Amino acid sequence: MSAQPQSAAKPPVTAPRLFEMKAAGEKIVMLTAYDAGFAAQCEAAGVDTVLVGDSLGNVVQGRESTLPVTLDDMVYHTAAVKRGLATPLLIADLPFMTYRDVDTALRSSARLVAEGGAAMVKLEGADYVLEVIDALDRRQIPVCAHLGLTPQSVHKFGGYRVQGKTKSAAERLIADAHAVEQAGASLLVLECVPAALAKTITAELRIPTIGIGAGVDCDGQVLVIYDMLGITPGKRPKFSKDFLAGSGSVLDAIKAYAKAVRSRAFPAPEHSF
């Protein structure tokens, strides 16, 4: 049995295409995947972009955080996902400490692109990361930034908490969002921030925003596939929804998610902060 896509009926989704989608008000559907089989389901369901998240540390490897995920892990899973995809834009996470300086980030990203087949790399934070984003962008590697609840900062945050709740934290997040755009990011994931704040950031930025626990007004949405299929053990995060419940198959569940994102039915207020 093969997980290879049979045909590519649609042109591949590219970073410039995501800008066009924002300009046209078309919602961007992103989902995580970690292997060729689930990637092929994303392909068949018409997902726009697939993220090989370092969340694989939690949902695939059963770890408590994303911190132990290695670059080798990410290259392995990105290459597997690539074999199941033809159309969606493939984004891969740079794991903890693999972008701690410009040289390390360039080497790490080159592996995700050349060995893994990623078309964009994702990294967390602003501050010193701005220099890294600029260096990658100048070397023609598109970058997805990630602000708000950045799981690689779990020890600094003291847990997984909604970010940007106070006036000063919200102002800082808005400033960071402008800074990552200015540095050259092509896309911005906003995780667990108040919906009103994500709406403001989305309206102010030229680059598309992708929300997870950030309300319906982001330019697109992302979920961890194990969460939206109800596989993740324990309590499902507030911002997620089990799309397999009520669907006949994994494919139908992903199609239902894509439809709900495109029609703005998901996330509902109960999935937002």
User: Interface residues with ligand KIV (CB under 6 A)?
Assistant: 32, 51, 53-55, 93, 146, 189, 191, 212, 222, 224
Q: 55 or 202: whose CB is closer to ligand KIV?
A: 55
Min separation Cβ 12 and ligand KIV, Å? 21
Handedness of CA 210, 223, 261, 26 (dihedral sign): positive
**What is the Rg, in whole angstroms, of the alpha carbon atoms belonging to the chain?**
17
Tokens coding 193 = 């921030």
Q: 55 or 87: whose CB is closer to ligand KIV?
A: 55
Alpha-carbon gap, residue 7 to 43, rounded angstroms = 10
Q: 73 or 217: whose CB is closer to ligand KIV?
A: 73
Min separation Cβ 232 and ligand KIV, Å? 12
Q: 222 or 254: whose CB is closer to ligand KIV?
A: 222
Residue that is written with structure tokens 């945050």 in the block: 157
Q: 51 or 143: whose CB is closer to ligand KIV?
A: 51
Tokens coding 173 = 């997040």
> CA geometry: angle at 239 spanning 198 and 203, to 5°?
15
Handedness of CA 58, 60, 62, 67 (dihedral sign): negative
Alpha-carbon gap, residue 235 to 230, rounded angstroms = 10
Min separation Cβ 69 and ligand KIV, Å? 9
Residue that is written with structure tokens 């979920």 in the block: 223
- The string of DSSP codes covering 11-43 is PPP-HHHHHHHHHHTPPEEEEE--SHHHHHHHH
Q: Exactly one of 26, 43, 191, 204 is catalytic; which is it?
A: 191
Q: Is 221 helix (H, G, I), strand (E, B) or coil?
A: strand
Task: Point out the residue whose Cβ comes nearest to ligand KIV.
Answer: 53
Min separation Cβ 93 and ligand KIV, Å? 5
Alpha-carbon gap, residue 167 to 134, rounded angstroms = 28
Known active-site residue 270? no
Residue that is written with structure tokens 């667990």 in the block: 192
Q: Which residues are catalytic?
A: 191
